[in-house]
Amino acid sequence: MTEMLGMGCCKKAKRGVTPEVREKVRELLSRAELVEKGGKVVVFVDGRKVGKLKFIAPVEELQVESVWKSPFGTKVELSWNGRFVGSLLLREGL
């Protein structure tokens, strides 16, 4: 699953982007509240922090670029117009 690389760095297992993941991200983003905080944009859904963006981008235009399995859930990296924008953490109960 993970491979240790030197001084505490880990390479995480990348997963394919499934239609289910895309649909879950669309559903979350449709309910998202974006809050600028400390030079970043925090993504909240139902009052819970689910991710962060580097800048405000139109949520309906964000694309899922890659998916990673983590101990805390599934990390989804997002892009807009071909640029990395930020990430979400999909967890149970959202």
What would the mean pLDDT of 31-59 be, rounded to a whole number? 94
User: What mean pLDDT comes out for the span 71-85?
Assistant: 94
Question: Is 90 exceeded by the pLDDT of residue 36?
Answer: yes
pLDDT at position 38 is 86
> Which H helix or E strand runs over 20?
helix 19-30
DSSP assignment, residue 78?
Answer: E
Q: Tell me the whole-structure pTM to 2 decimals.
A: 0.77
E strands along the chain, which residues?
A: 3-5, 9-11, 14-15, 33-37, 40-45, 48-53, 63-70, 73-80, 83-90
Give the mean pLDDT of the chain.
Answer: 84
